[in-house]
Amino acid sequence: MTDSRPSPRSRRAPRRRWGLALVVLLVLGGGGWWYFGNASKGAAVQYVTAAVGRGDIEDTVSALGNLQPRDYVDVGTQVSGQLKVIHAEVGDQVKQGDLLAEIDPTVYQSRVAADEAQLLALKAQLADREAQAVLAGQQLKRQRTLWAQRATTEEALQSAEAAAKSADAAIDQIKAQILQTESTLRGDQANLGYTKIYAPMTGTVTSLTARRGQTLNANQSAPIILQIADLSVMTVETQVSEADISRLKVGMEAYFTTLGGGTKRWTGKLKQILPTPEVVNNVVLYNALFDVDNADGMLMTQMSAQVFFVVASARDAITVPVAALKAPPRRPEGAQRPQGPEGAQRPQSPEGAQRPQGPEGAARPAGRPYLVQVMGADGQPAERRVRIGVANRVSAEVLDGLQPGDTVVVGQRGAGTAGARAPAGGQQRPGSLPGMGGFGPTPGR
């Protein structure tokens, strides 16, 4: 009888094969980890760069607005009645004094006729009173003569005096009634004249709110018939948020574009900032107004406008991307200013100090200090101090420290990274200069 159990050597063989496979896996895994780890450590950092150039920069406050005629008038009626004729249509050009509409004058003509008849009657009464006054005067004179001769009684003399005074008073009363009637007549004649409505100014008929045959009631308010506007000068009414209103100054330059105007710009000067705001959905908005010439007639009432108020601007300036700037480190309190070669402290330009005047005679501000990384000939960046003037969310004006053609670092990209990161020194919010807390609004703000 034979033993069918496996021998100890045959039982150890599978274990050896599994152990050998585990050692091979560990060796391969460690080698891969070492290779890829060293490869990633040794990968060179890639710098995202941009060239320093020249261009125009504007620091602006943007707002939405609409267009209204600067000079316009609502033409209404001062008398009630049926609108008989309208002599104008929307879009017509009218001149001051042109007849625009007529109201049925029948009632007012009858009032004028009645006043004139009453005035004639009063004048006839005046003539009668004057004749009676002459008679009363003659009788008084006769009684005084008789009284001097003691040929009449005192009572007769007193009666003659009273009759003369009464005749004079009656004349004064009739004259007063005549003045009152003449005044009434003038008022009714004016109302009769108001039945014809004339243009109070030269312009364009922009709206027509009444129709022929309509009955107008002017007892409580003046009904509006049409509107005339001078479209040669338009007013742009904008709403600016309370965060930006402090940056606006009366007289500053402003320009705007319209939806249908393409790239055409209309310019003007800020004329007025209304002191009372409007609150819309808990947002405080102030109205800012400026005028613009419309001699070509391209601008029309109620057009929407994208408005930009120019806070500061620089033309043909050296420009650098805002992403390349970082704020310089703050000097500790009590630290000495950097000294020159002779040991004298270098004076630092205070905020708002003036630079030497340019060729046009205008003094330029000293600007604000920042740091940038400039690529050298060896392909490595070097830190450089610059001074920045006008800036917006994209570019900044370089007053000192860079020249066109310099290459600055705007970010870094390492091996395997998904995108660029900001240069050393901390990230900044989009649309702001480092250390300035969101400096400078731009179009689209």
Whether 99 is covered by a domain: the verdict is no
Nearest Cα neighbor of 440 from 351, 286, 342, 322 is: 322
**Is 181 in the same domain as 243?**
no
**Is 177 in the same domain as 242?**
no
Whether 82 is covered by a domain: the verdict is no
**Is 127 in the same domain as 188?**
yes
**Is 188 in the same domain as 235?**
no
Whether 115 is covered by a domain: the verdict is yes
> Domain tally for the chain?
2
Place of tokens 């004016």: 190
Nearest Cα neighbor of 414 from 33, 42, 37 is: 42
Band of pLDDT at residue 31, cut at 50, 70 and 90: low
Average pLDDT of 223-245?
94
Band of pLDDT at residue 380, cut at 50, 70 and 90: confident
**Is 244 in the same domain as 169?**
no
The long-range contacts involving 366-371, CB below 8 angstroms and separated by at least 24 positions, are 366/399, 367/399, 367/400, 368/433, 368/436, 369/328, 370/325, 370/326, 370/327, 370/328, 370/433, 370/434, 370/435, 371/325, 371/326, 371/327, 371/328, 371/425
Lowest-pLDDT range, 49-53, 61-65, 361-365?
361-365
Q: List the domain range (segments joined by +) for residue 253.
A: 62-69+230-312
Helix axes 154-194, 106-148, angle to 10 degrees: 160
Distance CA(277)–CA(284), nearest Å, equals 6
**Is 173 in the same domain as 247?**
no
Nearest Cα neighbor of 322 from 174, 189, 436 is: 436
- What are the percentages of helix, strand and coil residues in the chain, rounded to 5? 30, 35, 35
- Which pTM was predicted? 0.66
Band of pLDDT at residue 151, cut at 50, 70 and 90: confident
Average pLDDT, the chain: 81
Whether 204 is covered by a domain: the verdict is no
**Is 234 in the same domain as 188?**
no
Domain finish residue from 164, 192, 220: 192
Gyration radius of the chain's alpha carbons: 48
pLDDT digits (tens, 9 = 90+) for 72-96: 999 999 999 999 999 999 999 999 9
In whole angstroms, how far apart are CA 360 and each of 310, 357, 363, 364, 367? 20, 8, 9, 11, 19
Place of tokens 């009955």: 215
Question: pLDDT over 90 for what percent of the chain?
Answer: 58
Residue 333 has pLDDT above 70, yes or no: no
**Is 187 in the same domain as 248?**
no
Whether 91 is covered by a domain: the verdict is no
Whether 392 is covered by a domain: the verdict is no
Residues 6+ apart with CB under 8 A from 443: 58, 60, 62, 306, 308
Where residue 308 sits, what CATH number does that domain have? 2.40.30.170
**Is 256 in the same domain as 308?**
yes
**Is 188 in the same domain as 110?**
yes
Most confident of 301-315, 323-337, 366-380: 301-315
Whether 219 is covered by a domain: the verdict is no
- Residue 382 structure tokens: 């070097």
Whether 337 is covered by a domain: the verdict is no
| Run of H or E residues at 188 | helix 154-194
**Is 178 in the same domain as 241?**
no
| Residue 367 and residue 400 in contact, taking contact as beta carbons nearer than 8 Å | yes
Distance CA(427)–CA(431), nearest Å, equals 12
Domain finish residue from 281, 312, 343: 312
Q: How many CB atoms lie within 10 A of CB 134?
A: 12
In degrees, rounded to 5, the angle at the alpha carbon of residue 215 between the alpha carbons of residues 209 and 221 is 70
